[in-house]
Amino acid sequence: MKKEIQILIIEDSADDLFRIVRELKRGGLVFHAKRVTNKEDFIAEIQSQTPDLILSDHGLPSFDGFTALDIAQKKCPAVPFIFVTGSNDRGMVAEMYESGATDYVYKNCLSDLMPAVRQALSEAEERARENDARPELELDLRSRPTPIAEPKAEVGLRAICSSCKRVQNNNGNWERIEDYLLKHSQATVSLALCPECAQVLSAG
């Protein structure tokens, strides 16, 4: 975990802000917190400096937490987003998770805040390490030599020249029987004449 965590808090209540900050300090977290209460300030803050964590009330008079979550997912999707809410409506909690929130904490149970924060930050760091390692893995895979393709098996009866003992392969080319059988040990051959030997014999 970083020495100092940058936290952006969306909260219109000064009393609730004080309680949240006090709980984070009580949990031993070293952090710098910035508070915003409207959409414009929120966007300005995440554009000027990406926070490590976003804590958000769910309903402000001019700016709701779901709008903030949607903006955060578009502009800084890797940043954990935790709702700190005074509502215990189960439908709303389900909507929080469905909308992509990392976690939620009830304001009347702020003792749950630090465990949720530590878990969210730990998971974010793990994802960041995985993302950092992925390009190295891809580079390693690209740098590995391409395996040499095994020759396709040649089936059926192959012609062998009765004079020079070369074998005709699937491509119609003639090659030494020793080389051919090394690659195609299961092949069967029959006697024939390659074009060169046939020409020599006809000339003679």
Note the pLDDT tens digit of each residue in 16-75: 999 999 999 999 999 999 999 999 999 999 999 999 999 999 888 788 899 999 999 999
Instruction: For the beta carbon of residue 158, count every other beta carbon within 10 angstroms.
Output: 18
Query: How far is the C-alpha of 80 from the C-alpha of 18, rounded, in Å?
Result: 21
Comparing CA positions, the residue from 164, 157, 166 lying closest to residue 189 is 157
Taking every pair of Cα atoms in the chain, the longest distance, rounded to a whole number of angstroms, is 112
Q: Write the DSSP string, 89-131.
A: -HHHHHHHHHTT-SEEEEGGGGGGHHHHHHHHHHHHHHHHHHH
Contact 82, 53 (CB under 8 A): yes
Residue 96 lies in a domain: yes
Query: How far is the C-alpha of 105 from the C-alpha of 82, rounded, in Å?
Result: 7
Instruction: Look at 29-33, 107-111, 129-133, 155-159 and tell me which has the smallest mean pLDDT.
Output: 155-159
Alpha carbon distances (Å) from 171 to 148, 158, 186: 19, 11, 17
The CATH code of the domain that includes 24 is 3.40.50.2300
pLDDT of res. 188: 58
Residue 42 lies in a domain: yes
Cα dihedral: 174, 175, 177, 178 (round 10): -170
Q: How many domains does the chain have?
A: 2
Q: Are residues 99 and 169 in the same domain?
A: no
Query: 32 — phi, psi (to 5°)?
Result: -125, 125
Q: Are residues 33 and 109 in the same domain?
A: yes
Rounded to 5 degrees, what angle do the CA atoms 108, 109, 110 make?
105
pLDDT of res. 23: 96
pLDDT, the chain, mean: 82
Residue 22 lies in a domain: yes
Domain that holds residue 168: 157-203
Note the pLDDT tens digit of each residue in 139-162: 666 666 655 555 555 555 567 766
Residue 150 lies in a domain: no
Query: How far is the C-alpha of 175 from the C-alpha of 151, rounded, in Å?
Result: 15
Residue 171 lies in a domain: yes
Note the pLDDT tens digit of each residue in 72-92: 999 999 999 999 998 878 888
pLDDT of res. 129: 86
pLDDT-based confidence at 137, cuts 50/70/90? low
The pTM of the full predicted model, rounded to 2 decimals, is 0.65
